Amino acid sequence: MTHARQHRLQVVAHRGASEEAPEHTLAAYRKAIEDGADALECDVRLTADGHLVCVHDRRVNRTSNGRGAVSALELADLAALDFGSWKTRAGAGVRDEEPDWVHRPEDREATSVLTLERLLELVADAGRRVELAIETKHPTRWAGQVEERLLVLLKRFGLDAPPRAEESPVRVMSFSARSLHRVRAASPTLPTVYLMQFVSPRLRDGKLPLGVGIAGPSLRIVRSHPGYVERLKRAGHQVHVWTVNETRDVDLCASLGVDAVITNRPRAVLDHLGRTGRDDL
């Protein structure tokens, strides 16, 4: 653990504190902020009536008590669903005391569908700098509209055009180079992250799609090809690795000079790094 503490890793809460609370819910993001996460990660999809919501899967079947594709449902349809009780049914978070996220009538919002707008409000009210990594999901029936609506919403919060990329509290991530190109064309200073499940031959030397400054390789890539991180860094790119939950992998990323780890367990990772959350910021 010694070498893990020598390098300041940004700890990013993957879908919120998703090991402890239902992913992509207000409860999960509140917990991540409380735990001291440096940044929050979310996936966004567009509803049939044009709202950006934080849902990973194309369909809501896994993470709610409903069925159907997000793109075919309106926000009111999604708001009627329960996005929290599946976590209990799956046997996660079972403990002697009832966890804070368990559905209660007085705080139904905590486990309802979460809009990106509401998440941005939560971050704005956090009382400290909390960054946000927003992933656009693809393929989608709303090609181009996801990025367009995202930038309109970011503009409303004054986040669409930072003076310099390194000053921005928001970054846009995608596995789609085309999606990132749309974002860069509309907002050149907004930082973008190219996510990778594998490394294509044309990018093996550390190159990224034009204009992208941050690489987002999977943990599998980093484990199998640790030298790839060095090539990315030598090319001048930051490296944000997903999804890093085990201490040995945190240590590996730290030893390689990775800039950020995206984790379901922000509190455990911060503890391992010897940080005290909010007191450390």
The answer to whether the beta carbons of residues 233 and 257 sit under 8 Å apart is: yes
Catalytic option among 24, 56, 237, 240 = 56
Burial class from Cβ neighbours inside 10 Å (0-12, 13-18, 19+) for residue 42 reads buried
Catalytic option among 14, 237, 240, 272 = 14
Pairing of strands 52-53, 39-46: antiparallel
Active site residue 225: no
Q: 146 is written with which tokens?
A: 């996801």
For the chain, give the longest Cα–Cα distance. 54
242, 215, 247: which is closest to 231 by C-alpha? 215
Active site residue 56: yes
Pairing of strands 10-14, 260-263: parallel
What are the residues facing 59 on neighbouring strands? 69
As annotated, the active-site residues are: 14, 56
